[in-house]
Amino acid sequence: MERTRLFALTTLVLLLSGGAFVFEPAAANQNVTRASLSRDFRNAMSVVRANYVEELDYQALTKAGIQGMLKVLDPHSDYFDRKAFAEMNSEQRSHYFGIGAQIAPRNRGTYILETFEGTPALRAGLKYGDHIIAVDGQDTSTWSSDRVRNVLRGERGTTVKVTVQRPGAQAPITVPIQRDSVALPSITNFYLVRPDVGYINLSRGFHSTTSNELNSIMADLTEKGARSFILDLRGNRGGYLDQAIRVADRFLQRGQVIVSVRGREGKNFDRDIVAETGATENIPVVVLINRESASASEIVAGAIQDHDRGLIVGESSFGKGLVQNIFPLSDGSGLTLTIARYYTPSGRLIQRDYSSGSLFEYYARRRPNGDPNAGASPRTEEKQTDLGRTVFGGGGIEPDVKIENADLFTGVQSRLYSVVYMFTRELVNATAAGLEKYKVDRINFRPGDKPAQYWIDDQVIAAFRQFAVKFLADNPDFGVTPAQIDSETVWLRKTIRQEVLWAAYGFEFMQRMTNDLDLQLQKAIQELPNSAKLAERSWRPAASSRR
């Protein structure tokens, strides 16, 4: 029964992708029928089943086959099994069901980076540095962090037993945790970065609650004195189109085009989407983007740039301008299929080239910040903004003010980072002699006006060096020498402090306390007066739609 269902599902996907939604099949393929598609797939599976050296997981094999087939069409059409599809829908509703902890791979294991406020994991006493060694009694030493995450998530009200190893504890700690709804707002951080400048970090994607979150937060920051805003879209990989439209509407004038959608001829997907409400006042704004800003975030940045509503600061964006429709399937799984392309108001194509067909080329060997000597250049089409500024399309959004991310690690720093984490988990658990002042018993989300700064002095650096030399001797594959450790003292002071602050106050508050190190954010603050002048020139008493 399961195999039959998978065969039928694959046949359905083949039919959908073979021309119903994405492209017209060639004339020579017009005689391909539902029966022949199903027959070919069944025959292939029969050969594999009869001859492959190991027993097969048919569901995993079929899932991989469907995903591989869809990737032939484009990099962003995809298939999600029942669990993955449910998780995607849940997260885009700004919540999920689980224990409420951020986990990540560190030193060949899965460790807790943070427990979120008001969540089961926090109530259970889990904290930064805990090494997850078992879940429900199953040893996780060979599991990937994704597998651990998937097992920790589950139906609301169900219980999962988590076993962790903690520095200073005599034995592993096992705690039963009842899964619950965990809030996942799209805006992760907001505050006054200057007395009159509001900072809004919209990094998680455009969820169903994004526009409501933004309106509430802008009102709150305005009441506290904000007269201009920095909208941080770095790392925002997209989400719901309607939410991106509502966010752009908050800054543009009524009637201005936000984005144009162009689909296959005859499918009636073409439309120009305009700001229906529009901004009632000309509030200065700078938008931050980086190479991970994609899709919906590029729509917002492109609209603001094309209408000269504000400046874009940072790095060239990802370049994802394909429109996916979601198609739920009867078994609870789902497809996302490309049905159209996005264009900015000036007519720039957001999507970058993927004609090589190589996902590795598409994701790993990307053009770094518009360097014409490093792969496909975004300067494939030249357009004009409302005020006549030249902008380029065909490869994401090029910022008006380019500035590299200074937080990117060098090779040595990347190898040392795991060592920093392993040392910091010892430090915050007070296992390092003479450094008890760095102990963190429990994360504090409300540290008040004078939080402990946790400056890293020479004693900490000396303790780290001693720890690192022993750690690297036990793990020679890290390939770091004592001399290289000594050459990274400045970076180590900064990074260890950030990790301690993360353990003490959570990631968002740590960001606030160290934003002076964020060169892209500091540049955005500097550019606000220029952005305000640009917006003042573009502001019209009554905006007209650009079509």
The predicted structure's pLDDT at residue 542: 61
The predicted structure's pLDDT at residue 32: 52
Q: Which is it for the CA torsion 478, 479, 485, 491, positive or negative?
A: negative
* Active-site entry in 74, 78, 306, 308: 306
Residues of the chain with pLDDT under 70: 1-34, 37, 90-92, 365-380, 542-547
The predicted structure's pLDDT at residue 407: 72
What is the model's pTM? 0.84
The predicted structure's pLDDT at residue 463: 97
Residues with Cβ within 8 Å of 51's Cβ and at least 6 positions away in sequence, in order, are none
**Euclidean distance between CA atoms 95 and 390, whole angstroms:** 41
The predicted structure's pLDDT at residue 408: 76
Domain residue ranges in the chain: 2-73, 95-183, 189-322+340-359+366-404+532-538, 411-517
Say whether 306 is catalytic: yes
Quickly count: other Cβ atoms within 10 Å of residue 142's Cβ: 7
* Active-site entry in 17, 295, 333, 531: 295
Q: Does 189-322+340-359+366-404+532-538 carry CATH code 3.90.226.10?
A: yes
* Active-site entry in 293, 320, 333, 518: 320
- Which amino acid makes up residue 109? G
Say whether 441 is catalytic: no
The predicted structure's pLDDT at residue 366: 60
pLDDT in tens, 314-350: 999 999 998 888 888 888 888 888 888 999 999 999 9
Quickly count: other Cβ atoms within 10 Å of residue 443's Cβ: 20
Domain range 95-183, CATH architecture: Roll (2.30)
Nearest in space to 127 (alpha carbons), one of 162, 157, 93, 92: 162
DSSP type of residue 376: S
Residue 49 half-sphere exposure toward CB, CA atoms < 13 A: 11
The predicted structure's pLDDT at residue 1: 44
Say whether 139 is catalytic: no
The predicted structure's pLDDT at residue 516: 94
